[in-house]
């Protein structure tokens, strides 16, 4: 294989039902449940996998700890971040940054999911950013 393609991000949680429901409501995409401990939310470009802590036993004990992420931002390209803000602020009180236009040309909304993971909904607004994400 010549190319490496990011196909999925996986979150591990102690409360899978709550986290999956949060992402279904935030993204307006349905989750596909494979077992009671594993679900995926599939978009056109990437899959967000969500596993319960019980799935860790399949990989080895102590390899991940739920609700402790403080370095990764999960980003979603959205059509209208200002419109989505009106919906997201009803889902969470943990809005980190209201929609703000960033120096690199994206209008960005930062908030946390129910496990404290940082989520960025963004819409390109500058000509350069729009061109970057076109097609």
Sequence ranges of the domains in the chain? 1-68, 69-135
Q: Tell me, what DSSP letter sits at residue 57? A: G
- At 84-123, the pLDDT tens digits run 999 999 999 999 999 999 999 999 999 999 999 999 999 9
Stated pTM of the model: 0.92
Closest CA to 87 of 109, 115, 116: 109
Whether residue 50 contacts residue 19, with contact meaning beta carbons closer than 8 Å, is answered with yes
Q: What is the CATH number of domain 1-68?
A: 3.30.720.120
Q: What is the CATH number of domain 69-135?
A: 3.10.180.10
Mean pLDDT taken over the chain: 95
Question: 59 pLDDT band (50/70/90 cuts)?
Answer: confident
**Distance between CA 106 and CA 110 in Å, rounded?**
12
83 pLDDT higher than 70: yes
């Amino acid at each position: 294989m010549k190319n490496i393609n990011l196909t999925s991000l996986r979150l591990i949680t102690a409360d899978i039902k709550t986290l999956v429901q949060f992402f279904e409501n935030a993204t307006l995409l349905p989750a596909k449940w494979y077992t009671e401990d594993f679900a995926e939310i599939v978009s056109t470009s990437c899959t967000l996998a969500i596993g319960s802590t019980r799935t860790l036993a399949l990989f080895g004990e102590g390899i991940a700890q739920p609700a402790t992420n403080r370095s990764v931002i999960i980003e979603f390209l959205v059509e209208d971040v200002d419109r989505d803000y009106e919906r997201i602020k009803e889902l969470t009180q943990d809005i980190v940054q209201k929609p703000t236009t960033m120096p690199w040309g994206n209008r960005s909304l930062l908030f946390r999911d129910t496990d404290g993971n940082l989520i960025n909904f963004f819409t390109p607004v500058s000509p350069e950013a729009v061109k970057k994400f076109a097609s």
